[in-house]
Amino acid sequence: MTSTNPAGGARYAIGVDVGTGSARAGIFDAVGRMVASAKRDITVFHESGAIVEQSSTEIWHAVCHAVKEAMAQAAVAPERIAGIGFDATCSLVVLGEGGKPLPVGPSEAAERDIIVWMDHRALEQAERINATGHDVLRFVGGKISPEMETPKLLWLLENRPQVFAAAWQFFDLTDFLTWRATGDVARSTCTVTCKWTYLAHEKRWDESYFRTVGLGVLADEGFARIGQTIVEPGTPLGQGLTQEAAAQLGLLPGTPVATGVIDAHAGGIGTVGAQGRPESCLAYVFGTSSCTMTTTRDPVFVPGVWGPYYSAMVPQAWLNEGGQSVAGAAIERLLAMHPLASEAASRAAREGQSLPAMLAALAGQCEEGLSGAVRLAHAQGLHVVPEFLGNRAPFADPHARAVIAGLGMETDMASLVALYVAGMCSIGYGLRQIVEVQAQAGAPIEQVVISGGAGRLDLVRQLLADATGKPVLATHAEEPVLLGAAMLGGVAGGLYGNVREAMAAMSQISKVYASATGEIAALHDARYRAFTQLQDVARAIR
């Protein structure tokens, strides 16, 4: 089915994804086929300690460049664009009057107006918030994370009061993008429910929470600076693209703009509807960090797993969100510690591939196929707990750190491959831990649907299936996060009546990776027990 406009010709939707390192745009037809895409890198500013910042001005310019380039590649006329949808990292944008950027850190650089999601400057504020035991915390798994927005707002109030006072709006990055596109300051149910403690099932902010944690000034203002109008993803905003935004993007003024979502949730939207039963799937977005999203019809409270959030991803359904603070980044860090890493990376580059891709190809040459690769790690006694930046779920422990057991003196390629396999299995065991905790709480899942750049390799998907004991499904979409954002744009532009319709129509399963049985399954069970034992030891000695 291809939607057409009255004048004839297919209509398309644009998906825009702003990740940690780049802004990307994809042009999709009405059945979910991507006809063009483009990317523009963005700067990440790292300061001493846990400070990580970005520039909203640079990000908007990168978005405009990516959209223009994708449109040129697709050779699609602007009038054939039905709508545009945005997703982004859950980073905090701080703007003064008129949308003027405000400096959020000690650099005093005004263009650095974003506290990035991975920034942990508000760790102490998060701990104080958690010590209150406020009832709102039940909806973030019992503990708030320093990666969420209210601890960061409290940090700003306490450490940069002049910036806090001068702020006109505090935006989640996704909501900043839709405001920049339309002039509409409405917030997404997804962003404010998942990261700002909005209670979507009751359609309200909890005033007592803000007063209890020290942010009563926001309640005094009627929450005008963090969102008074909250709408569901896919809802058209304002009058569509403003004249200015349309000119910058190379699109027509008035083009419908959808209320957006957090980037990981766009991946969920782009994948879990492919087999028509989102409630049976766990969406696993595997990138620099990882995110797990489980949809349920009724609220399920899981200690250490964020949520339950109402209508944050699938409309009129509840969402539990877990994840690993670093996943793809953990593998990169792990490999970088090996003596052969630099030489191997150079070799991979000469062969036109990434180091993980080269190592995955070598590991996959086992006689037993992809599942047999686990024996490479086990033969060398290598076990990894990849918590370099803490445990997001299910322990909500930002102080956790990585553990590596079994390292020897080997410096050859075989030992590097084995270390890679051990690391990949450990990502799977962390995922298995989240799956098991959720099942015990009443949110079982039957299968995992994967997306994200770090999850594209066949070996990775097979090891995750074997490590978790759950089949891993891949969709046809090369870029499911972009597709999820485009689905929202399609809904706003009338290609589909609602998000569930778009999910079912624009996504299809391409391959199923069945989990191992027999001896390989038993080996993973044993290694999973070792994984949890190492976690226990690390906590005990810390």
Domain boundaries, the chain: 12-261, 281-293+322-475+508-542
Q: What is the dihedral of CA 90, 95, 100, 104, to 10 degrees?
A: -80
Overall average pLDDT of the 153-180 stretch: 98
279 band by pLDDT with thresholds 50, 70 and 90: confident
* 56-114 residue pLDDT tens: 999 999 999 999 999 999 999 999 999 999 999 999 999 999 999 999 999 999 999 99
CB contact burial 233-272 (16+ within 10 A = b; e otherwise): bbbbbbebbbeebbebbbbbeebbbbbbbbbbbbbbbbbb
Q: Report the alpha-carbon distance of residue 277 to residue 28 in Å, rounded.
A: 23
Task: Specify the pLDDT at position 352.
Answer: 96
- Return the higher-pLDDT residue of 326 and 156: 156
Q: Report the alpha-carbon distance of residue 98 to residue 91 in Å, rounded.
A: 20
- 236 sits in the region (left: phi over 0; alpha: psi -120 to 50; else beta) called beta
Domains 12-261 and 281-293+322-475+508-542 fall in the same CATH topology: yes
The pTM is what? 0.88
Helix (H, G, I), strand (E, B) or coil at 82: strand
Overall average pLDDT of the 232-249 stretch: 98
3 band by pLDDT with thresholds 50, 70 and 90: very low
pLDDT at 407 over 70: yes
Which CATH superfamily, name and number, covers 281-293+322-475+508-542? ATPase, nucleotide binding domain (3.30.420.40)
First to last CA, the chain: 58
* CATH architecture of the domain formed by 12-261: 2-Layer Sandwich (3.30)
3-state secondary structure string, 315-375? CCCEEEEEEECCCHHHHHHHHHCCCCHHHHHHHHHHCCCCHHHHHHHHHCCCCCCHHHHHH
* 308-319 residue pLDDT tens: 999 999 889 999
